Amino acid sequence: MNAGEVTWLGVDVGGTFTDVVLIADGTLTTAKVPTTGEQSEGVLAGIETACESAGIDVAAVDRFRHATTAAVNAMLEGAGATTALVTTEGFADVLAIGRQDRPALYDLDARKPEPLVPPARRFEIDERTTPEGVERAVDPDAVRALADSIPEDVQSVAVSLLHAYAHPEHERAVADALEAAGEWSVSTSHEVLGTFREYERTATTVADAYVTPVIDAYMGRLTERARERGLPAPRVMQSNGGIAPAATVREHAVTTLLSGPAAGVVGASTVADADRLVTFDMGGTSADVGLVTDGTAARTTDATIAERPVGVPMVDVETVGAGGGSVGWVDAGGALRVGPESAGAEPGPACYGRGGTEPTVTDAALQLGYLGGESLGALDLDADAAEAALADLASEADLDGPVAAARGIYRVANATMTRTIRSVTVERGQDPRSFSLVAFGGAGPMHAAALADRLGIERVLVPAASGVLSAYGLLAADETHDAARTHRTRLAAADVATIEARYDDLEASVLGDASDPDRATIEREADLRYAGQSYEVTAPATDPFDPTAMRDRFHAAHERVRGYRLPDEPVELVTLRTTATIPGEEPPLSSAGTDDPHRTTRRVSFEGRYRETRVYDREGLSAGASVDGPAVVAGGESTVVVPPGWTGSVDDRGTLVLDGGGSA
């Protein structure tokens, strides 16, 4: 079966909407439906909507890929499994102690979040290993006694023993005893995150134990409902930007915490014809910003979710609470603020007509003319309700009516998102003017040109199906599996044979997770640092491992990331990393358009005043079509605002390329 004969399906669950992309015979069909409390219901409703629009049977789908917010929602809402922790004697409080950093340095009332496992469910066991070997063996009778003391309501157990990254045999013994003693799921630190740093490893293992039962139950329901409708089992986007079988993520769900944002970055890098990209995904609840350099999405192992460290590899995305549903409000000092509180899908912005009364970014966009009579997904917008909500805000903020309130919300939201883009570019030594901005999500293209003006970015790319690009990114993603293990040594004294043996073990681990090991390619990396540093820099590893070559690679990587090198300082090897990748296959798309995409005109606010502005039909813009600002390009899932001084043209892939022409 070639790519053109395959029917592709991608579903991305967001905080407000569930996005669906269906490609059959090269024809793209999209759907956007409200996200439901039980996510699988919204997923199936979106699939049925898209299939009905395309005129095909649900059972005709060949490939089903999925991004879910179930894991991150469990973390953010405190709705994960009842979890216990088993650790080495004397280390039960590592979760509470954490690091010495404070969430707000000068706030005397600042409080860290409560640990996911309270003291009553933390258990210690008398054992001890060191990086060199076993010092005190674990007593099987003590493990059985510990299992008997775990409360009956516990659903999941995290096992994180001291130095288990180097010698995991004690964790294996404890896990085996626990699995034999109860119905709970068990997460072990050497499998979840086989690296040193006790707090981060324990916190990540606890997070995995906390969300794995949630994802296991959710994926079980979704897989069963899909099977009943003749759909294949879903393959799931991981936080690292790679797809994995549902069975894999059901075992270690911590890998799905940034499932949706990762899909968006992958989709942006797939469709954009540029190697240096700032990806900007603005949905209903938040805005996510990522960076692509040399055609590769930036990744990190130092992420924080719900104020808790998670050390598994993730696409490096900064998230801010500024989405279409973000609420405008007035603080105690009388200043207008936007977000992070969101109206969500229920009741949603006031203009949704579902009982919402709080003014949001979407209400402001409707008042300013960026949105008009067209529907938003399956919703018809209520301009009167939006104006009433904005009028209430104007009165509270002492502003001159709903238009002033709308302009205030729009400017504050843009300022917030501009700061986020600066944080991933300027604050990391990157000049935003050397990047193109890829805008997607339901609200991203509406704000993109204004943000680019603020940042000096002259080129904005709005892909076809930009409103559901994260769902499209699922279809083109590679299958990716990661493994890591700490191995600390000076490069000058490195035992190459031991390092090669450990790389071989990591390679066997990632290939064991791959659906088709014969098609997988292996990439080796190493975390290194100058002696005395407290942080590492990752560099590509030679194969076979060559300490001299790795020293040179580290110097180059350190200078690129940190801005300097210390050629005379000794270099330490810290962690070995391996990634297995099975290349994805971008689905074929046929393009279509009309010679006259102009739809109508309406009054739209630019630079503080309303102007009569042309409104174009996005689906009617064929390759080679051009648009001069001021203009609005309206689509089924997103709207593009082209300010005065900007021009737009459609390339061969259907991407609307906006050129600021130095207007910033």
Token readout for 234 is 């879903």
* Tokens describing residue 523: 């990439």
For 60, residues 6+ apart whose C-beta sits below 8 A from its C-beta are 7, 24, 51
Q: What phi and psi values does residue 597 have, to the nearest 5 degrees?
A: -80, -5
* Rounded Cα gap, residues 118 and 84, in angstroms: 8
Containing 513, the helix (H) or strand (E) segment is: helix 496-513
Q: How far apart are CA 438 and CA 473, in angstroms?
A: 13
Predicted confidence (pLDDT) per residue in 155-208, tens digit? 999 999 999 999 999 999 999 999 988 889 999 999 999 999 999 999 999 999
Q: Is the peptide bond before 347 cis (omega within 30 degrees of 0)?
A: yes
pTM: 0.87
Pairing of strands 235-237, 185-188: unpaired
Helix, strand and coil percent figures for the chain, each rounded to 5: 35, 30, 35
State the Cα–Cα distance between residues 137 and 143, nearest whole angstrom: 12
- Report the C-alpha gap between 260 and 266 in whole angstroms: 10
100 or 583, higher pLDDT: 583
Domain at 479-582, CATH class:
alpha beta
Q: Coil, helix or strand for 650?
A: strand
Q: Taking residues 558-570, what's their average pLDDT?
A: 91
Average pLDDT over residues 228-242: 94
381: confidence class by pLDDT, cuts 50, 70, 90:
confident
Tell me: pLDDT of 605 over 80.
yes
Pairing relationship of beta strands 128-130 and 133-136 according to DSSP bridges: antiparallel
Give the pLDDT score at 1. Answer: 46
User: Where do the domains of the chain lie?
Assistant: 3-75+216-256, 78-214, 273-462+591-664, 479-582
Return the minimum-mean-pLDDT range out of 168-177, 250-259, 590-599: 590-599
Please classify residue 55 by burial: count the beta carbons closer than 10 Å to its beta carbon, then call 0-12 exposed, 13-18 middle and 19+ buried.
exposed
How high is the pLDDT of residue 647? 95
pLDDT at 664 over 50: no
Rg of the Cα atoms in the chain = 26
For residue 4, pLDDT over 80 is answered with: no
**What DSSP assignment string belongs to 235-270?**
EEE-TTS-EEEHHHHHH-GGGGTTHHHHHHHHHHHH
Give yes or no on whether 273-462+591-664 and 479-582 have one common fold: no
- Sign of the dihedral through C-alpha 303, 475, 452, 322: negative
Q: What is the structure's pLDDT at 505?
A: 95
Class of domain 3-75+216-256: alpha beta
CA distance 412 to 339: 10
Q: CA–CA separation, 569 vs 144, rounded Å? A: 49
For 320, half-sphere exposure in the C-beta direction (CA atoms, 13 angstrom radius) is: 22
Q: Which fold has domain 273-462+591-664?
A: Nucleotidyltransferase; domain 5 (3.30.420)
Per residue in 286-340, pLDDT (tens digit) is 889 999 988 888 889 988 888 899 999 999 998 888 888 899 999 988 999 998 8
